[in-house]
């Protein structure tokens, strides 16, 4: 038998390595932008076609490369940024692994034109699938111009698994944002299919954040600044009342590198103490600066996971500085959360007379009378018959002379209680309404007869670039559900109509909430887009807790709920109806 082990060819090895470094067009954008930053560029232009599936081009005015370097840069482990292992502990650049260009060249058609400012002529090189196809001198401005075309052209399976253009472009925007936020002093432009998405002049951090996320953020940024021997923390956190239910504006950077850090995320959340609305996540843009020898950025190829030497102490420092920033801005007293669902406790003042509430007692009642207390109670309170019939009349205000048309009772403006044969039915009002709206929207979609209610005053809504992409992704399905929302370009859409079921007041706010909901549902793989959108729309427009319902509204809600295919669970699978069995109730009142 002959030996069977052989060393893989460079091209195959590069393709395997590319799997880790280049997952999608956005990875290419990130790597090329970081290289341009490392080259000391002051202006970087990113040009994308078809969400990067056709073309990704990054043009910089940085240091450029010599003819030899321009050839060598495509070799694996070719880097100008570190020389020995000890340099790993003093990294100041974005890149250092020398893998990105080799990986790209293995899975795409890459061409580079580059010239150092002092050279007269530049170099043009083309590589595809790790094969050098062309090398020639070229007239080109100082700096480097990379073009990556037909990504994954030689790995059809990978190419097939790329998502829709909207989704891939959203990933590109996210990576773009990470790089531009860490380099506010560099000017950036992003162009997609000939449309300018971002034009960010060199500026300070605050202006850069506004440039990236829209003018609205300006009103809710609180500066953060702490310096200790271990770490320096700077940046901004969002005011608590601007926290959102989904992720999207949470950024940690270490020595100007974007990282994810769930443990530090918790520290930030804890810093807000109890002042966040439930399930809300504050925005933050937090920059750590530390001695490079105190962190290990080498643990993951895409370098978004970083290990710190003393994470517990840093946790404490983050917590303290977030608290301090919030306190300094004296925010706590001016908090203005929505009052919905919150019980107002009136404050007593000295000159207000306190009234003892009226309690009606039965003066003839003798607790020691008779053997069978249940029978006795039934007699004393005739409304407590076996079906609890009429029990709710107890709670009718005396002045209400109207004949009650139902026997439902709303508790805490959250649950509807309704007596049924076997006991008491408890209905969660918000979830019930969600289910009703959801099924109606899906039905309208199936019949292809969505009913749009045209709004007299179409509302133009401006979104941030990433959310705009999400919205565009949703438009087709939204239309099927009865929304009339049109792309206006420039990160804006115009709402012309809402489904008849939905109230179109504050359409902009509702649309933003739907986008948030849709994003948060994207993790759920088993749900198709139309259902996801119907769910997001139903969740957004369902009546909320805290809304008081009239008798008629309660009755309608119950009737409509039980006309649904699945009245028991909300579209996201949460319980809507629970019956408290009479037997169960009786058990509570056993002696
Ligand atoms: P790394 O960035 O980890 O060093 P890359 O594969 O991304 O590895 O790049 C390899 C080398 O090519 C870099 O170290 C750098 O010397 C050179 N290079 C890449 N992009 C540029 C650029 N835009 N301008 C100048 N040099 C570049
Ligand atoms: Mg690099």
Distance 309 CA to ligand 1 centre (A): 28
- Residue 77 C-alpha to ligand 1 middle, in angstroms? 11
What's the 242 CA to ligand 2 centre distance in angstroms? 36
Question: Could you tell me if 246 and 519 are in contact, meaning their C-beta atoms sit under 8 angstroms apart?
Answer: yes
What pLDDT does 126 receive? 97
130 Cα to the center of ligand 2, angstroms: 17
Nearest atom, ligand 1, residue 101 CA: 6
Burial state string for 437-464 with b = 16 or more CB within 10 A and e = fewer than 16: bbbbbbebbeeeebebbebeebbebebb
Q: Between vectors from CA 169 to CA 164 and to CA 171, what angle results, nearest 5°?
A: 105
Ligand 1 atom 18, closest CA: 35
> What residues have CB less than 8 Å from 270, skipping those under 6 apart?
319, 322
- Nearest-ligand number for the alpha carbon of 34: 2
Which residue matches tokens 């709206």?
437
Q: 515 with 477: CB under 8 angstroms?
A: no
> Do 176 and 233 belong together in one domain?
no
From residue 371, how far is each of 375, 376, 583, 590 by CA, in Å? 9, 8, 22, 14
CATH number, position 110: 3.30.565.10
Distance 95 CA to ligand 2 centre (A): 4
Residues 213 and 198 in one domain: no
**What is the tally of structural domains in the chain?**
3
Q: Which atom of ligand 1 is nearest to the CA of 102?
A: 6
CA distances (Å), origin 211, targets 215, 224, 424, 464, 466: 7, 19, 55, 10, 13
In a domain, 295, yes or no: yes
Q: Tokens 């002379």 appear where?
A: 401
**392/381 Cα distance (integer angstroms):** 13
Q: 169 and 42 in one domain?
A: yes
Same domain, 128 and 48: yes
Output DSSP code: residue 229. Answer: S
Domain boundary among 297, 328, 359: 328
The closest ligand to the CA of 98 turns out to be: 1
142 and 284 both lie in a single domain: no
- 299 in a structural domain: yes
Question: Do 121 and 211 have their domain in common?
Answer: no
One domain for residues 198 and 213: no
255 in the same domain as 317: yes
Which residue, of 202, 237, 257, is where some domain finishes? 202
Virtual torsion, Cα 175, 176, 177, 180, nearest 10 deg: 130
**HSE toward the beta carbon, residue 518, CA cutoff 13 A:** 26
Residues 232 and 215 in one domain: yes
In contact, 517 and 509? CB cutoff 8 Å:
no
What pLDDT is attached to residue 202? 97
Cα–ligand 1 centroid distance for 110 (angstroms): 14
Q: Is residue 461 part of a domain?
A: yes
Q: Are residues 14 and 91 in the same domain?
A: yes
0.75 surpassed by pTM: no
Ligand lying closest to the C-alpha of residue 80:
1
Number of Cα atoms under 13 Å in the Cβ half of residue 246: 15
Best residue among 14, 33, 34, 35 to mutate for probing ligand 1's pocket (most ligand atoms within 8 Å of CB) is 35
Ligand minimally distant from the alpha carbon of residue 114: 1
Per-chain residues with Cβ under 5 A from ion ligand 2: 35, 95, 100
d(CA 221, CA 202): 20
Q: For residues 55 and 151, is the Cβ–Cβ distance under 8 A?
A: no
392: in domain: no
Q: How far apart are CA 381 and CA 433, in angstroms?
A: 35
- Tell me how far CA of residue 361 lies from CA of 167, 364, 366, 380, 399, in angstroms: 66, 9, 11, 11, 20
Ligand 1 test: best mutation among 32, 76, 77, 79, most atoms within 8 Å of CB?
79
Candidate from 95, 96, 116 with most ligand 1 atoms within 8 A of CB, to mutate: 95
Residues 320 and 425 in one domain: no
Q: Which atom of ligand 1 is nearest to the CA of 36?
A: 23
Q: Output the six-digit token pair for 96.
A: 């250092």
pLDDT averaged per 10 residues in sequence order, the chain, 591 residues: 84 80 94 96 98 97 97 89 76 80 95 97 96 96 98 92 90 94 97 93 95 88 93 94 83 90 92 84 94 74 76 93 86 41 39 48 49 39 34 36 57 88 90 90 76 76 86 86 86 85 72 82 67 84 86 89 89 89 86 69
* Domain CATH code at residue 546: 3.30.1370.100
Closest atom of ligand 1 to 58 CA is 23
CA–centroid distance, 165 to ligand 1, in Å, is 28
The HSE-up count of residue 510 (CA atoms within 13 Å, CB side) is 23
Per DSSP bridges, beta strands 43-49 and 187-192 are parallel
Q: Looking at the domain assignment, is residue 337 inside a domain?
A: no
Q: What distance in angstroms lies between residue 35's CA and the mean position of ligand 1's atoms? A: 5
Same domain flag for 315 and 224: yes
Q: How far is the CA of 139 from the centre of ligand 2 (A)?
A: 24
Considering 134, 168, 202, which residue would you say is the last residue of a domain?
A: 202
Domain for residue 589, yes or no?
Answer: no
Nearest protein CA to atom 12 of ligand 1, as residue: 73
For residue 565, the enclosing domain spans 417-577
Q: Flag whether 211 is in a domain.
A: yes
- Residue whose C-alpha is closest to residue 326's, from 205, 222, 234, 216: 222
Q: What CATH number did the domain enclosing 286 receive? A: 3.30.230.10
User: Which residues form the pocket of ligand 1, taking CB atoms under 6 Å from any ligand atom?
Assistant: 31, 35-36, 39, 60, 62-65, 73, 78-81, 95-101, 144
In a domain, 324, yes or no: yes
| Tokens linked to 262 | 């769930």
What DSSP letter does each residue of 361-398 carry, written as one string? --TT--TTS-S-HHHHHHHHSTT--TT-TTGGGGGS-T
**For atom 8 of ligand 1, which residue has the closest CA?**
98
pLDDT at position 544 is: 83
């Amino acid at each position: 038998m002959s030996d069977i082990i052989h060393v893989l060819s460079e091209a195959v090895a590069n393709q395997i390595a590319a799997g880790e470094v280049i997952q999608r067009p956005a990875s290419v954008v990130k790597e090329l932008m970081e290289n341009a930053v490392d080259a000391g560029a002051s202006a970087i232009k990113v040009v994308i076609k078809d969400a990067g599936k056709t073309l990704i081009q990054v043009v910089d005015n940085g240091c450029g490369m010599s003819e030899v370097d321009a050839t060598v840069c495509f070799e694996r482990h070719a880097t100008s940024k570190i020389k020995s292992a000890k340099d790993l502990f003093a990294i100041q650049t974005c890149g250092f692994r020398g893998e990105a260009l080799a990986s790209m060249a293995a899975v795409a058609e890459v061409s580079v034109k580059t010239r150092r400012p002092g050279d007269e002529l530049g170099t043009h090189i083309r590589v595809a699938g790790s094969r050098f196809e062309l090398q020639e001198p070229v007239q080109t401005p100082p700096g480097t111009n990379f073009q990556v075309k037909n990504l994954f052209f030689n790995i059809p399976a990978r190419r097939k698994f790329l998502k829709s253009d909207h989704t891939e472009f959203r990933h590109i925007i996210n990576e773009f944002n990470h790089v531009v936020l860490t380099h506010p002093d560099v000017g950036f432009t992003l162009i997609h299919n000939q449309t300018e998405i971002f034009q960010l002049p060199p500026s300070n951090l605050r202006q850069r954040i506004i440039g990236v996320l829209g003018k609205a953020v300006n009103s809710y940024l609180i500066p953060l600044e702490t310096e200790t021997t271990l770490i320096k923390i700077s940046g901004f956190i969002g005011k608590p009342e601007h926290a959102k239910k989904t992720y999207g504006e949470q950024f940690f950077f270490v020595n100007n590198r974007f990282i994810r850090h769930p443990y530090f995320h918790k520290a930030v959340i804890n810093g807000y103490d109890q002042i966040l609305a439930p399930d809300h996540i504050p925005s933050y843009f937090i920059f750590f600066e530390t001695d490079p020898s105190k962190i290990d950025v080498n643990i993951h190829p895409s370098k978004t996971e970083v290990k710190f030497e003393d994470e517990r102490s840093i946790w404490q420092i983050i917590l303290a500085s977030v608290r301090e920033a919030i306190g300094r801005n004296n925010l706590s007293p001016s908090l203005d959360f929505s009052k919905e669902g919150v019980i107002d406790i009136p404050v007593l003042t000295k000159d207000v007379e306190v009234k003892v509430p009226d309690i009606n007692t039965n003066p003839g009642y003798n607790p020691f009378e008779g053997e069978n207390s249940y029978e006795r109670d039934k007699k004393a309170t005739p409304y407590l018959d076996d079906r609890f019939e009429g029990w709710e009349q107890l709670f009718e205000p005396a002045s209400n002379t109207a004949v009650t048309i139902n026997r439902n009772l709303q508790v805490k403006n959250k649950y509807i209680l309704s007596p049924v044969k076997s006991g008491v039915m408890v209905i969660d009002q918000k979830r019930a309404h969600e289910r009703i709206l959801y099924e109606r929207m899906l039905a309208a979609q199936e019949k292809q007869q969505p009913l749009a209610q045209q709004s007299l005053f179409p509302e133009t809504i401006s979104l941030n670039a990433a959310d705009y992409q999400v919205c565009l992704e949703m438009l087709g399905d939204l239309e099927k559900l009865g929304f009339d929302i049109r792309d206006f370009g420039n990160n804006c859409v115009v709402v012309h109509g809402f489904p008849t079921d939905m109230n179109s007041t504050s359409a902009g706010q509702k649309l933003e909430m739907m986008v948030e909901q849709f994003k948060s549902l994207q993790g759920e793989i088993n749900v198709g887009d139309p259902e996801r959108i119907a769910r997001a729309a139903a969740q957004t427009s369902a009546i909320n807790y805290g809304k008081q319902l009239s008798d008629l509204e309660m009755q309608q809600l119950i009737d409509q709920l039980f006309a649904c295919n699945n009245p028991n669970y909300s579209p996201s699978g949460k319980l809507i109806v629970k019956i408290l069995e009479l037997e169960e109730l009786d058990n509570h009142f056993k002696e």
